Amino acid sequence: MNTKYDVIIVGAGPCGIFTAYELVKTSSVAKVVIFEKGRDIESRECPKRVTNVCSGCKPCNITTGFSGAGAFSDGKLSLSPNVGGRIQEFVGQSKAVELIKYVDSIYLENGADTKVYGTNSQVIEEIKRKATVANLMLVESPIRHLGTEEAKKIYKRLQDFLLSNNIEIKFRTPVKDLIVEDGKAAGVVAEDGSIYYAKNVVICVGREGASWLSKIIEKYNIPCENNRVDIGVRVETPNHIWKGITEHLYESKFIYYTKTFDDKVRTFCMNPGGYVAVEHYDNLAVVNGHSYKNIKSDNTNFALLVSKHFTDPFKDSIKYGKYIAELANMLSGGKVLVQRYGDFIRGRRSNEERIKRNSVVPTLTDAVAGDLSLVLPYRIMLDIKEMIEALDYVVQGVASFDTLLYGVEVKFYSNEVKVKNNFECLTIQNLYFGGDGAGITRGLMQASVNGVLIAREIASKL
């Protein structure tokens, strides 16, 4: 089967969606196809969120499918160019601000909540003051919260828009390989062997596709830099200790450099009234969190992530992250471990009895009580402990013995692809990279902006 297109897009996350969306707006005659290994937005249902039992969906409905992983787990739009990626490095600060406003307007047109958190300067200054005393840095960013269930409706409208404008979307169709001819991208080969040709190929697979992308990078000798892997835990605390922050900021982004090792630890993906969840990458269960717009729990959860950068001779950060996740899965029978912070600092395993009498009731009901010290390296353990102690100065109660730590949380990235300012590959013409998997963005908003920029570049050549 040989089919010819103007543009092939690999991945239907925010970057791929907005590449197609902007191509409709700027080049209505372009023949465009999106390849997505997951399902359409209507079919993306996680049975566990109803039954509390993982059905082992292949591929995982949380991490794959139309709108990607981020939209299906909470859906937050960071409205600052300083959060969520490196787009400002390519286009400058003022242009990045302009593009964020443009993309934000599209989300609003499709039903996003008009409320923006993080605009009360008086509250922010007081939080920053406390953070400074604790050697924490608060990263300011206005946030628009979509919510898991509302994000699904918004992306359903975007999916319908693309389909009604003749954008072809091939769901459950993983891409196996590229076609490169005379130094130019010429198409892709699907998993079933079907061949598709195109004048331009855009790869924006997200973190779930990082392992596949690393193989493509290696096969075609694509210039890149060793990227990091983020490893840590998901923390669950009562809502009331965070209320003074979350009601104004929704999500607080703190960065800390640890006393002992000077390692960078950051908070990530905070979910007030949210739920701890499991997602699967390459058959490995790792922890994440999400929150609904209209359904709330009694807890707030967030990730504490330690960024690890590797130097020569080691080049496989993804393999390292998977190894840590495999250890956790081995001890938990393929599930997620949970440990009380009081047990964590005492160096003892949590058991079911102590979890049952804990004042913080786990929202991930099938997490297995265990000992994270058997999984995480000592250095990462100490980084997490020092970060929690620092946070406790700003938010008293974070370091409570009843705080829950779930492990492990791993954010996989491929090696950071080196691209031109227009996101084209340095060595293969007509091949573009975007999104989280390529190490360019780290969130819904900048991934969406990345797609707009790639589309405008391609449209200028069609």
pLDDT score for 71: 65
**What is the mean pLDDT of the segment spanning 77-104?**
95
The 10s digit of each residue's pLDDT in 95-107 is 999 999 999 999 9
The residues with which 179 forms a beta bridge, in sequence order, are 187
How many other CB atoms are there within 10 angstroms of residue 254's CB atom?
A: 23
Q: How far apart are CA 456 and CA 411, in angstroms?
A: 29
Q: Tell me what pLDDT residue 414 has.
A: 61
Q: Are 96 and 449 in contact (CB under 8 A)?
A: yes
Q: Per the structure block, which two tokens stand in for 265?
A: 């630890």
Confidence check: pLDDT of 242 > 60: yes
Q: Which two tokens stand for residue 314?
A: 């080691």
Largest CA distance in the chain: 66
Q: How much is the mean pLDDT over the chain? A: 92
**Which helix (H) or strand (E) segment is 238 a member of?**
strand 229-238
Q: What angle do CA 267, 273, 274 make, to 5 degrees?
A: 65
């913080």: which residue's tokens? 360
Are residues 337 and 368 in contact, defined by beta-carbon separation less than 8 angstroms? yes
Residue 268 pLDDT > 70, yes or no? yes
Is the model's pLDDT at 146 over the cut of 80? yes
C-beta neighbour count of 115 within 10 angstroms:
10
Q: Is there a contact between 9 and 20 (Cβ–Cβ < 8 Å)?
A: yes
Distance CA 375, CA 408 (A): 8
The whole-number pLDDT of residue 18 equals 98
Question: Which residues lie below 8 Å from residue 237, measured CB to CB, with a gap of 6+?
Answer: 299, 300, 301, 360, 397, 398, 400, 403, 404
Cβ-proximal residues to 208 (8 Å cutoff; 6+ apart), any chain: 60, 63, 64, 68, 69, 281, 412, 437
Q: Which amino acid is at 53?
A: V
User: pLDDT tens digits, residue range 358-412?
Assistant: 999 999 999 999 999 999 999 999 999 999 999 999 999 999 999 999 999 998 7
Only one residue has tokens 């265990």, namely 370
pLDDT at residue 26, as a whole number: 92
Which pLDDT score, from 0 to 100, does residue 356 have?
Answer: 96
Element (H, E) at 326: helix 317-332
Q: Enumerate domains of the chain plus CATH numbers.
A: 2-115+143-223+416-459 (3.50.50.60), 229-411 (no CATH)
3-state secondary structure of 343: helix
Average pLDDT over residues 334-351: 97
Tell me what pLDDT residue 316 has. Answer: 79
Q: Which two tokens stand for residue 225?
A: 């830099």
- Indicate if the pLDDT at residue 235 is higher than 70: yes
For residue 61, pLDDT over 90 is answered with no
Residue 63: predicted pLDDT: 79
Q: d(Cα 216, Cα 412) in Å, to the nearest integer? A: 16
Nearest 5 degrees, angle CA 351-CA 356-CA 359? 115
The span from the CA of 147 to the CA of 272, in Å, is: 11
Per-residue model confidence (pLDDT) at position 210: 81
**Residue 225 CB: number of other CB atoms within 10 A?**
10
Of residues 148 and 351, more confidently modeled? 351
How far is the C-alpha of 204 from the C-alpha of 186, rounded, in Å? Answer: 17
Is a pLDDT exceeding 60 seen at residue 1?
no
Q: What is the pLDDT of residue 12?
A: 95
pLDDT of 340 above 70: yes
- Give the confidence band of 288 by pLDDT, cuts at 50, 70, 90: very high
Query: Which helix (H) or strand (E) is 442 found in, with range?
Result: none
Most confident of 43-52, 169-178, 218-227: 169-178
| Predicted pLDDT at 283 | 84
Q: How far is residue 153's CA from residue 108's CA, in Å, rounded to a whole number?
A: 12
CA distance 373 to 356: 21
Report yes or no: 434 and 447 within 8 Å, Cβ to Cβ. yes
Cα separation, 281 vs 178, in Å, equals 22
Model pLDDT, residue 8: 98
**pLDDT band at 293, cuts 50/70/90?**
confident
Sign of CA dihedral 274, 156, 448, 223: positive
Cβ atoms of 276 and 406 closer than 8 Å: yes
Question: How confident is residue 69, by pLDDT bands cut at 50, 70 and 90?
Answer: confident
